[in-house]
Amino acid sequence: MDTSIIIKAVLALGGAGLVLGALLAVASKIFHVEIDPKVELIREFLPGANCGACGYPGCDGLAEAIAKGEALSSACVAGGSEIAEQIAGIMGIDIKEEKVAKKALVCCGGGKNEVAHRYIYDGELDCRMAQQIGKGPSLCSYGCLGFGSCAAACPFGAIIMGEDGLPLIDWKKCCGCGVCVEICPRGIIALVSENEEVHVLCHSHDKGKTVRSICKKGCIGCKACEKVCEFDAIHVVDNLAVINHEKCTGCKNCVEKCPTNCITVLLESPHVHPKKQVVTKTVN
Amino acid sequence: MERLFLIFLAAFLINNILLIKFIGLCPFFGVSSRFETSIGMSMAVIFVMTLSSVACWGAWNFLLDPLGVGDFLYIPAFILIIASLVQFVEMVIRKVSPALFKAMGIYLPLITTNCAVLAAATESVKPGFWKLSLEYNYGLGEALVYTIGIAMGFSMVIIMFAAMRERIEIAPIPRSFKGLPIAFIAAGLSSLAFLGFKGLFGI
């Protein structure tokens, strides 16, 4: 066999590689563009999977946006809270101060003790799957199903399932990313501001009589809150009290008046625990 | 002239790289969900394919073929050339025209080692690569026309498909078919339609 062809091949490919490599090295010096060193630092911490969940074109795009201050340091959905903290460290921001604007709130008070089930659901413990079977096992077709899809989905480990079957959201950990809002098949999780004090913890559009028969804490649409409100801030729309937070002054008249206690002051809400010390075990 | 036109047509319609050859399917499905991104992708593909084919043609005719090592070395050599070329072009564009870099920057590294680019380079150097008849080599002009034909064919199909997918998105289709499944079906049907071009002008 002619061995010269091996030498030729090695020379051709090796030579081409050497020349091109040298060319690239020279070009990178000549065409060097100054970029923010933060971008590279941030880029190192990002997962690098280019999943696009943040809405930016790949991890490079997000790193650039964070460095410019256009995106939050917690914008990486896949990275979770650890990476968000590290990035916030690079940016010199305290992650908890960065976003006080919105937090997740579970707008339902119907836990295990309040709402009965009409059949025994024996499948995968996932709200979205349960919702497929006859619109869920819960008698209330609007309220929390209690299988904890939100807790499993929370990238920051801020949600745990409480003993009453309702999710508990740790507002110290919640970054308001909205993943739980998306995942909830019944759409009962809302992003609310911390300065919006009063909330209706019910999502049911059923008639008052029906609500009364299936849930102890549901809104029955009695309009007592509407009458007691001095600021025209709360209205019963389609059998459910809705608060206009621009008009609400937080006087808490409606909270006292509500016969089923479904209107709650935020910090006393059973589903938020910045005050209550709930055992913060991680959810798998 | 007529020959060049036929070469272009063969690459553009009859041997369409996406729908007939089924090469480069990842950008075809990955980037075709929105009209704008598909246009950005096609521009980048036209640019990179043309450049890399010319470079590979040069490498084949002046380095690989004279040394007699081309037949078994052309794939690693072409990958090396295409990858360094794209890197180089990316650096130049970044320095010279930041606006162009912003428009094309995301797509350039994505297609660095794309199979469609490699296939276009291979095919324009060794026509009939898919038929395994390697006797005849294209001249530079023919290779250029052939590559531009392939790149335009790629662009036409991906833009057309993106427009289709945007319409499918709002069409009432069964839930289990939403998203990629219906896109695969639509791609299959388009491919069948493109089979109709076979035999056009006797090529």
Is the CB of A14 inside 8 Å of chain B's CB atoms? no
Residues in chain A within 8 Å Cβ distance of B106 = 57-58, 61
Residues in chain B within 8 Å Cβ distance of A62 = none
In tens, the pLDDT along A235-259 reads 888 888 888 888 888 888 888 888 8
3-state secondary structure (DSSP) of residue A106: strand
Least confident of A49-58, A97-106, A142-151, B65-74: A97-106
Is the CB of A8 inside 8 Å of chain B's CB atoms? yes
Contact assignment for B106 to A58 by CB distance below 8 Å: yes
Distance (Å, whole) CA A175 – CA A108: 20
Location of structure tokens 């621009």: A246
> Given this model, what pLDDT does residue B184 score?
92
Distance (Å, whole) CA A226 – CA A162: 31
> Given this model, what pLDDT does residue A271 score?
59
SS (H, E, C) chain B: CHHHHHHHHHHHHHCCCCCCCCCCHHHHHHCCCCHHHHHHHHHHHHHHHHHHHHHHHHHHHHHHHHHCCHHHHHHHHHHHHHHHHHHHHHHHHHHHCHHHHHHHCCHHHHCCCCHHHHHHHHHHHCCCCCCCCCCCCCCHHHHHHHHHHHHHHHHHHHHHHHHHHHHHHHCCCCHHHCCHHHHHHHHHHHHHHHHCCCCHHHC
Q: Which of A12, A27, A31 sits opposite B64 (nearest CB)?
A: A12
pLDDT at B106 over 90: no
Residue-averaged pLDDT of chain B: 83
End-to-end CA distance of chain A: 62
- Other residues' Cβ atoms within 10 Å of the Cβ of residue B29: 15
> Given this model, what pLDDT does residue B71 score?
79
Domains of chain A: 37-98 (1.10.15.40), 103-268 (3.30.70.20)
Considering chain B, what percentage of its residues have pLDDT values greater than 90? 14
Distance (Å, whole) CA A241 – CA B23: 57
What pLDDT band is residue B188 in, cutting at 50, 70 and 90? very high
Amino acid present at A41: L
- Other residues' Cβ atoms within 10 Å of the Cβ of residue A250: 14
pLDDT at A15 over 80: yes
Q: What is the mean pLDDT of residues A112-140?
A: 83
- How far does the CA of residue A4 sit from the closest CA of chain B (Å)? 10
Distance (Å, whole) CA A43 – CA B145: 40
Distance (Å, whole) CA A65 – CA A166: 36
- How far does the CA of residue B106 sit from the closest CA of chain A (Å)? 7
> Given this model, what pLDDT does residue A272 score?
61
pLDDT at B32 over 50: yes
- How far does the CA of residue A174 sit from the closest CA of chain B (Å)? 31
What pLDDT band is residue B153 in, cutting at 50, 70 and 90? very high
> Given this model, what pLDDT does residue A246 score?
80
For residue A6, the chain B residue with the least C-alpha distance is: B69
Q: For residue B149, what are the contacts with CB-CB under 8 A and spacing of at least 6?
A: B7, B8, B9, B10, B11, B12
> Given this model, what pLDDT does residue B105 score?
63
Contact assignment for A61 to B80 by CB distance below 8 Å: no
Q: Which of residues 69-88 of B touch A (CB under 8 A)?
A: 69, 72-73, 76-77, 80-81, 84, 87-88
> Given this model, what pLDDT does residue A169 score?
85
Check: CB of residue B183 under 8 Å from CB of residue B163: no
Is the CB of B99 inside 8 Å of chain A's CB atoms? no
In tens, the pLDDT along A195-224 reads 777 888 888 888 888 888 888 888 888 888
> Given this model, what pLDDT does residue A18 score?
93
Check: CB of residue A201 under 8 Å from CB of residue A107: yes
Measured in degrees and rounded to the nearest 5, phi and psi for residue B72 equal -110, -10
For residue B67, the chain A residue with the least C-alpha distance is: A8
ipTM exceeding 0.85, yes/no: no
DSSP A49: -
Distance (Å, whole) CA A58 – CA B89: 20
> Given this model, what pLDDT does residue B151 score?
92
Is the CB of A55 inside 8 Å of chain B's CB atoms? no
- Other residues' Cβ atoms within 10 Å of the Cβ of residue B97: 12
Per the model's pLDDT, the better-predicted residue between B137 and B66 turns out to be: B66
Contact assignment for A8 to B80 by CB distance below 8 Å: no
Per the model's pLDDT, the better-predicted residue between B126 and A273 turns out to be: B126
Per the model's pLDDT, the better-predicted residue between A71 and A229 turns out to be: A229
Residues forming beta bridges with residue A197, ordered by sequence position: none
In tens, the pLDDT along B37-70 reads 888 888 888 888 898 889 988 888 888 888 888 7
Q: HSE, CB side, 13 Å, CA atoms: give it for residue A93.
A: 18
Q: For residue A92, what are the contacts with CB-CB under 8 A and spacing of at least 6?
A: none
* Burial class, A72, CB count within 10 angstroms (exposed 0-12 / middle 13-18 / buried 19+): buried
Check: CB of residue B19 under 8 Å from CB of residue B187: yes
Residue to substitute from A1, A23, A26, A31, interface B, most B β-carbons within 10 A: A31
> Given this model, what pLDDT does residue A52 score?
65
Is the CB of A12 inside 8 Å of chain B's CB atoms? yes
Distance (Å, whole) CA B130 – CA B152: 20
Per the model's pLDDT, the better-predicted residue between B184 and A171 turns out to be: B184
Q: Which of B67, B73, B88 sits opposite A27 (nearest CB)?
A: B88
Considering chain A, what percentage of its residues have pLDDT values greater than 90? 3
B201 token code pair: 């002008």
